[in-house]
Amino acid sequence: MMPSLLLILLALCVLIETIEQILYRMAGRNHDRYFFYAAPATILNIVGLAIWLLILTRAPLAQALPLLAASNITVAAAGRLLFGETVTPRRWIGIVLISAGLVLVAGFEP
């Protein structure tokens, strides 16, 4: 599999994870429509897992896993934008530090 295809699949995994978390959050807020949100979230979880397993057959875990951690950023941003959740500067700094560390572990050059 070409590296660019791997990056597209990883980006798709991050997008799926973000949408999945949004749906689970909506399910938690709408108890009367819980399954309306939780069922698609569960399906997305299964699809994301299948894509992740495909990625793992083609890419080293040490490089793929840090890139998947980008969902930390997207989920925090979605929580802030869609639900008005407070993301303190301290939390953003933590997310940035974790992301930077993961990039260093993955061995990518700037």
**Mean pLDDT, the chain cut into blocks of 10 residues (110 residues total):** 80 94 94 94 96 90 79 91 93 89 69
**pLDDT at 26 (0 to 100):** 95
- Non-local CB neighbours of 75 within 8 Å, separated by 6+ positions: 17, 18, 21
**pLDDT at 99 (0 to 100):** 82
Q: What is the pTM of this model?
A: 0.83
> Contacts for 102-110 with beta carbons within 8 Å, 24 or more apart?
102/65, 102/66, 102/67, 102/69, 103/66, 105/62, 105/66, 106/62, 106/63, 106/65, 106/66, 106/67, 107/62, 107/63, 108/63
**pLDDT at 1 (0 to 100):** 54
**pLDDT at 110 (0 to 100):** 47
